[in-house]
């Protein structure tokens, strides 16, 4: 064997980085290391969920049409909609309420599907802004091979596209293990790992050299490629350890896979679509089964995380924050067709690490209209402010250790979500 | 090629020049432009989706040695030549679909319901092609861009004509032809296509407002939903009780709805009633055109001008200055990979003038952009512009496919479809592209998906090239491995290895390696190692070529 290629990949990367650094060229900004950093599992119910189905119950008013046979459920400080068909939700809330915060009365700033999604996830309508999981992944202090994995659901990469990996359809895995070469119309054999490694090393060096010669945006793009070649090399080496041969199809499978990637330090954030047809203009009875199934699955995920060692904590549940949302809520009253239309007040479910649990925050009145709240306590207050998607987003980013003043300057953080 | 070069030479002699620009030296321009090769590579990738030939690159390089004027004339002549190629129209479809978002993979209902035995993916592409073929028709025939909304026909092939209920011309050759609907609808290009209103549906209380906003987004670059509004408590209460009257009575609501609702009122013939019946939703009903009276109550119009029908609305839309600006912005953003900000309007002004003075001709608009210094820039000299200008652009998935297949002769097809053009495999999105529905803006910073796509595509192409080129019994000429045979090794023919590796870089990146480059030796070492493991010259050359195909100069241009 040529001694040139006997060095390990990590050795090469370290060596080349040191060489480039000494020459004033590019070198990696972050190190692969285990640092105590929270991970985030984002779940998105596309179509616009009915907030009254679970998160924002209203039984003392004629202004809201609640589902039949439902009652107010309470678990500690968490108030939710219970009922005959909601037993899994009762189980879930009873078991985990100390880690759960529900936030109601959030202004999504739009009741259009696309723009509502963008507002809820980025706080703005500007395409250059990345969504919360992308921000958290891109601005982390630790290098992750797959910083933000989009299993399914929306993604707004803004100018931070290099942090986002879309895993859809299993194609990422076929690319990772090379099996895609055998699937094409003119197939090619899968390259063996040692050969892959030395070719990767050569390419890495070429790209590093190229990046060092660029300026401004061109350099940013080239460095993005360089960082991601490094990530791809890391992943190729760890694909079997991480069980990346199958990302799963159901919400539960994908959520468990995401937690495994968190555990191994492969990812900081994941986005998974919550199954269900939530755009219930014609029939609102589709909401409950889909939302109940979500909490049933989430119960298993939380259970799993409570028994699984974390990446940087004793148990994964102390390291992972779960955020569930939709693009907007639905009207308080049923329309003539038994459905509910788009509504400009929304709810967000947050649970896990860094969250001040046992709380129901924000407030909507008997017409499902938000009232001002004190951002420190989350309780209604005539001297408070109306709560909007960007206030909640900044709180989530703060849980992740980011400085909100540097992300959306001037936006007030909804601090009630965080422990004092 | 010889004829082309003569043609370019003639153009130079005829004195064609660009406005003063220079290569590799500072001028009074706001930018420093790329060198001759870099400029021609960028031009070719943008207009044709592939690199120029070495002969073309040498030609402009030689012209550059004779001075800026000669170089500029050569560059301009190539631009004119390539603007006339079919590949240019493909590129424009890609650029404009970033605005239209038509390629979603949706079929809306089972093709079997109208007797079509067609794979859903094929059908989805046909559906998306109804508006995109009109764009091709418009550009191919040098028609004004406004034809997109004023054409008195749609476009169809026999299958889409059957699917949507159009009359395919009797003398049609089976391909895409101008065609008309027969359900009584008026024709106004994209504004009366079933595809458009399936892509942007509306029903119930939405009252066609989604469609009006889609028109605003696609043709005016103005998204009503992006406008900030503040509603007081009373307004929200009223919205709960009686939304239509609240919209009409509240000033905040009216800031959008005073113009949005009259636009929406033009389209009640397309309003959907049966959400469960796919075919029913494709129908136009002339008898429903007046139904706006039962919804918003706002007469059909366009920003204060009453409109009697959709063609009148389309005419007003096409005459709006913002229609022109939006087209210019769409092309400029697509070609420069920049997001327009207020400071850029001055830079866009000459392109808008060129577009307007040439009857909204898309070729003339593109010509104006690609001849500008800012387009050809390597770097910005103005601090403000430095933050906005992309000195290197990132090839889109389809451009990447074009570049690599042009060099290697290999296309990454899956079930007969290009994996980097068709998104069924999800490869295009992983490589930074869009899917028209969930991922609607391109990513210009390569992700780990891009890194994997480049790696695997390069491996597949490299293996197929090496297997063919090194076959002693192959019938045609080699694709890339001209200098070595299956018998050659670094020991018995080192000169051939050096020459071959240098040629691979030149053919793949469009740039020769420097004389003192270490890459030939490094890749020769790589060849030795792989050969020692696999004992196969094909695998060894595959590894070498795959490394070259992943060069950053392939992805960045």
- B458: Cβ–Cβ under 8 A, 6 or more apart, which residues? B404, B545, B546, B547, B549, B550
β A164-166/B301-302 pair status: unpaired
CB B354, CB B364: distance < 8 Å: yes
- Best of B104, B276, B414, B445 to mutate (most A CBs within 10 Å, chain A): B445
12-31 in B: which are within 8 Å (CB) of A? Answer: none
Beta strands in B352-405 (DSSP E): 377-380
DSSP string, A281-306: SS-GGGHHHHHHHHHHHHHHHHHHHH
Domain with CATH 3.40.720.10 in chain A: 38-167+247-417
Q: Which residue of B has its CA nearest to A372?
A: B233
- Residue B20, pLDDT above cutoff 60: no
pLDDT reported for residue B235: 72
Q: Is B179 helix (H, G, I), strand (E, B) or coil?
A: strand
Say which DSSP state B448 is in: H
Chain B partners within 8 Å of A154 (Cβ) = 438
> Touching check for A335 and chain B: CB below 8 Å?
yes
CA distance B397 to B454: 10
Which of the listed ranges B71-80, B115-124, B424-433 does the model predict with the highest average pLDDT? Answer: B71-80
Least Cα distance to B154 among B125, B124, B128, B188 occurs for B188
pLDDT, mean of each 10-residue run, chain A (420 residues): 36 42 40 70 97 97 96 98 97 98 94 87 84 96 90 86 76 88 95 92 97 93 94 84 73 94 92 94 94 98 96 93 97 91 94 98 95 97 94 98 93 95
Q: What is the pLDDT of residue B4?
A: 52
Nearest Cα residue to B399 out of B181, B150, B113, B95: B95
pLDDT at A21: 41
Using the Cβ of A382 and the Cβ atoms of chain B, whether some distance falls under 8 Å is answered with: no
- Tell me what pLDDT residue A3 has: 36
Q: What's the CATH fold of domain A38-167+247-417? A: Alkaline Phosphatase, subunit A (3.40.720)
Contacting residues of A for B232, CB less than 8 Å apart = none
Pick from A302, A297, A289, A355: nearest CA to A95: A302
Q: What is the pLDDT of residue A112?
A: 80
Contact B432 A211 (CB under 8 A): no
Contact B451 A157 (CB under 8 A): no
pLDDT at A312: 86
- Structure confidence at residue B25 (pLDDT): 47
% pLDDT > 70, chain B: 93
B246, pLDDT greater than 90: no
> How would residue B125 be classed by pLDDT, with cut points 50, 70 and 90?
very high
Inter-chain CB proximity B445 and A161 less than 8 Å: yes
Contact at CB, B414 and A235, closer than 8 angstroms? no
B456 pLDDT tier (thresholds 50, 70, 90): very high
* pLDDT for res A26: 38
Nearest CA in chain B to A228: B448
User: Residue B108 pLDDT > 80, yes or no?
Assistant: yes
Q: Which residue of B has its CA nearest to A150?
A: B430
How far apart are the C-alpha atoms of A177 and A184, rounded to whole Å?
A: 14
Chain A residues within an 8 Å CB radius of B519: 206
CA distance B267 to B263: 8
- Average pLDDT (B504-509) is 98
Minimal CA–CA distance to A231: which of A249, A246, A244, A218? A244
Which segment of A15-24, B70-79, B210-219, B271-280 scores lowest on mean pLDDT? A15-24
pLDDT in tens, B374-422: 999 999 999 889 889 999 999 999 999 999 999 999 999 999 999 999 8
Give the closest-approach CA distance of B210 to chain A in angstroms.
8
Instruction: Give the pLDDT score at A4.
Output: 36
- Mean of pLDDT values over B240-261: 84
Question: How many CB atoms lie under 10 A from the CB of residue B115?
Answer: 8
Residue numbers in B near A122 (CB within 8 A): none
Q: Is B275 on the interface with A (CB under 8 A)?
A: yes
Q: Which residues of B touch A2 (CB under 8 A)?
A: 525, 528-529, 532
pLDDT value, residue B221: 96
Could you say which residues from 76 to 105 on chain B have a Cβ atom under 8 Å away from some Cβ of chain A? none
Closest to B227 measured CA to CA, from B237, B217, B215: B217
As a whole number of angstroms, the distance between CA B551 and CA B545 comes to 10
A24 phi-psi bin (left φ>0, alpha ψ -120 to 50, beta other): left
Burial of A142 by CB count in 10 Å (0-12 exposed, 13-18 middle, 19+ buried)?
middle
Q: Taking 70 as the threshold, does the pLDDT of residue B232 lie above it?
A: no
Predicted local distance difference test score (pLDDT) of residue B275: 67
Q: Name the residue among B125, B126, B102, B123 with its Cα closest to residue B111.
A: B123
For A:29-68, CB contacts with B below 8 A are 63
Residues 6+ apart with CB under 8 A from B275: A281, A282, B203, B281
| Chain A residues closer than 8 Å to B203 by CB | 281
User: Shortest CB distance from B452 goes to which of A194, A232, A332?
Assistant: A232
Distance between CA B557 and CA B554 in Å, rounded?
7
Closest partner residue to B390 (CB to CB) among A217, A337, A344 is: A217
Which residues, including other chains, have CB under 8 Å from residue B417's CB and lie 6 or more apart? B121, B424
Contacts of B534 in chain A (CB under 8 A): 192, 195
β-bridge partners, A324 = A43, A349
Q: Shortest Cα distance from A166 to chain B (angstroms)?
A: 6
Interface check for B499 against chain A (CB to CB < 8 A): the answer is no
Helix (H) or strand (E) holding A104: strand A100-106
Nearest to B552 among A176, A207, A369 (CB): A207
Residue A199 sits at the chain B interface (C-beta within 8 Å): yes
pLDDT of residue A25: 40
pLDDT digits (tens, 9 = 90+) for B173-225: 999 999 999 999 999 999 999 999 999 988 777 889 999 999 999 999 998 87
Strands (E), B229-364: 301-302, 305-306
pLDDT of res. B554:
98
pLDDT at B512 over 90: yes
CB contact under 8 A, A199 and B526: yes
Using a CB-CB cut-off of 8 Å, the residues of chain A touching B414 are: 183-185
> Residue B14's pLDDT band (boundaries 50, 70, 90)?
low
| Residue with the larger pLDDT of the pair B502 and B423 | B502
Query: Does A169 contact B226 at a Cβ distance shorter than 8 Å?
Result: no
Contacts of B532 in chain A (CB under 8 A): 1-2
């Amino acid at each position: 064997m040529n001694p040139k290629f006997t060095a390990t990949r990590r050795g090469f990367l370290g060596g080349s980085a040191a060489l480039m650094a000494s020459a004033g060229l590019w070198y990696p900004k972050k190190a692969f290391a285990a640092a105590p950093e929270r991970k985030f599992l984002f779940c998105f119910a596309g179509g616009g969920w009915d907030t009254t189905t679970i998160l924002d119950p209203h039984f003392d008013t004629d202004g809201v049409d609640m589902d039949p046979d439902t009652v107010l459920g309470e678990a500690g400080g968490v108030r939710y909609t219970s009922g005959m068909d909601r037993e899994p939700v009762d189980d879930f809330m009873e078991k985990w309420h100390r880690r759960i915060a529900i936030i109601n009365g959030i202004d999504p700033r739009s009741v259009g599907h696309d723009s509502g999604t963008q507002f809820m996830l980025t706080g703005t309508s500007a395409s250059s802004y990345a969504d919360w999981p992308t921000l958290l992944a891109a601005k982390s202090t630790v290098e992750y091979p797959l910083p933000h994995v989009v299993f399914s659901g929306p993604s707004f990469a803004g100018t931070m596209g290099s942090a986002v990996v879309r895993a859809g359809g299993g194609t990422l895995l076929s690319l990772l293990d090379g099996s895609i070469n055998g699937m094409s119309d003119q197939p090619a054999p899968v390259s063996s790992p040692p050969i892959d490694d030395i070719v990767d090393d050569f390419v890495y060096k070429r790209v590093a050299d190229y990046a060092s010669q660029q300026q401004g945006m061109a350099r940013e793009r080239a460095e993005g490629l360089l960082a991601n070649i490094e990530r791809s090399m890391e992943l190729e080496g760890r694909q079997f350890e991480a069980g990346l041969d199958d990302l799963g199809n159901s919400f539960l499978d994908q959520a468990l896979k995401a937690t495994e990637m968190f555990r191994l330090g492969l990812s900081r954030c994941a986005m998974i679509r919550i199954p269900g047809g939530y755009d219930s203009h014609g029939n609102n009875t589709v909401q409950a089964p889909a939302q109940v199934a979500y909490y049933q699955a989430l119960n298993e995920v939380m259970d799993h995380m409570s028994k699984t060692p974390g990446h940087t904590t004793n148990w994964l549940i102390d390291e992972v924050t779960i955020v569930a949302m939709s693009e907007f809520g639905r009207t308080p009253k049923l329309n003539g067709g038994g459905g509910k239309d788009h509504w400009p007040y929304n709810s967000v479910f947050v649970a896990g690490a860094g969250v001040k649990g046992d709380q129901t925050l924000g407030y909507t009145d008997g017409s499902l209209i938000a009232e001002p709240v004190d951002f420190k306590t989350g309780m209604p207050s005539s001297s408070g402010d109306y709560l909007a998607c960007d206030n909640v987003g900044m709180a989530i980013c703060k849980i992740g250790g980011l400085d909100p003043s540097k992300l959306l300057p001037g936006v007030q953080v909804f601090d009630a979500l965080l422990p004092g | 090629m010889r004829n082309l070069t003569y043609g370019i030479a003639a153009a130079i002699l005829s004195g064609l020049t660009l406005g003063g620009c220079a290569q590799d030296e500072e001028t009074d321009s706001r930018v420093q432009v790329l060198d001759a090769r870099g400029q021609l590579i960028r031009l070719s990738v943008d207009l044709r989706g592939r690199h120029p030939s070495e002969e073309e690159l040498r030609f402009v390089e030689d012209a550059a040695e004779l001075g800026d004027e000669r170089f500029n004339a050569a560059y301009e002549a190539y631009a004119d030549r390539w603007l006339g190629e079919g590949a240019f129209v493909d590129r424009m479809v890609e650029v404009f679909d970033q605005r239209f978002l038509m390629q979603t993979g949706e079929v809306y209902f089972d093709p079997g319901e109208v007797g079509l035995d067609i794979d859903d993916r094929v059908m989805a592409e046909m559906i998306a092609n109804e508006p995109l073929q009109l764009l091709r028709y418009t550009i191919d025939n040098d028609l004004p861009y406004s034809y997109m909304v004023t054409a008195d026909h749609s476009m169809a092939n026999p299958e889409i004509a059957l699917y949507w209920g159009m009359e395919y011309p009797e003398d049609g050759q089976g391909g895409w032809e101008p065609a008309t609907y027969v359900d009584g609808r008026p024709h106004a290009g994209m504004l009366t296509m079933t595809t458009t209103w399936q892509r942007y549906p509306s029903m119930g209380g939405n009252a066609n407002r989604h469609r009006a906003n889609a028109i605003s987004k696609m043709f005016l670059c103005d998204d009503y939903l992006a406008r900030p509004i503040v509603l007081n408590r009373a307004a929200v209460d009223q919205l709960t009780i009686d939304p239509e009257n609240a919209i009409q009575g509240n000033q905040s609501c009216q800031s959008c709805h005073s113009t949005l609702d009259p636009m929406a009122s033009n389209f009640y013939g397309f309003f959907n009633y049966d959400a469960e019946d796919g075919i029913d939703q494709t129908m136009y009903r002339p008898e429903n055109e007046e139904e706006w009276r039962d919804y918003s109550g706002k007469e059909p119009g366009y920003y204060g001008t009453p409109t009697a029908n959709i063609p009148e609305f389309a005419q007003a839309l096409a005459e709006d200055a913002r229609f022109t600006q939006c087209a210019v912005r769409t092309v400029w953003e697509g070609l420069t990979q920049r997001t327009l900000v207020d400071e850029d309007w001055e830079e866009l002004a000459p392109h808008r003038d060129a577009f307007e003075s040439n009857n909204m001709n898309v070729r003339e608009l593109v010509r104006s952009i690609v001849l500008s210094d800012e387009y050809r820039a390597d770097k910005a000299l103005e601090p403000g512009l430095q933050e906005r200008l992309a000195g290197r652009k990132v090839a889109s998935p389809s451009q990447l496919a074009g570049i690599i297949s042009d060099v290697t002769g290999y296309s990454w097809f899956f079930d007969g479809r290009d994996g980097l053009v068709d998104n069924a495999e999800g490869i295009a999105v992983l490589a930074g592209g869009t899917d028209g529905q969930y991922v609607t803006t391109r990513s210009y910073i390569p992700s780990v998906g891009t890194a994997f796509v480049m790696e695997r595509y390069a491996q597949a192409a490299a293996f197929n090239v090496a297997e063919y080129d090194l076959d002693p019994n192959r019938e045609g000429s080699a694709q890339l491995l001209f200098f070595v045979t299956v018998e050659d090794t670094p020991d018995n023919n080192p000169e051939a290895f050096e020459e071959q590796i240098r040629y691979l870089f030149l053919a793949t990146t469009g740039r020769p390696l420097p004389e003192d480059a270490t890459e030939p030796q490094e890749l020769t070492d790589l060849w030795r190692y792989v050969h020692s493991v696999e004992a196969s010259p094909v695998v060894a050359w595959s590894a070498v070529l795959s490394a070259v195909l992943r060069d950053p100069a392939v992805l960045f241009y």
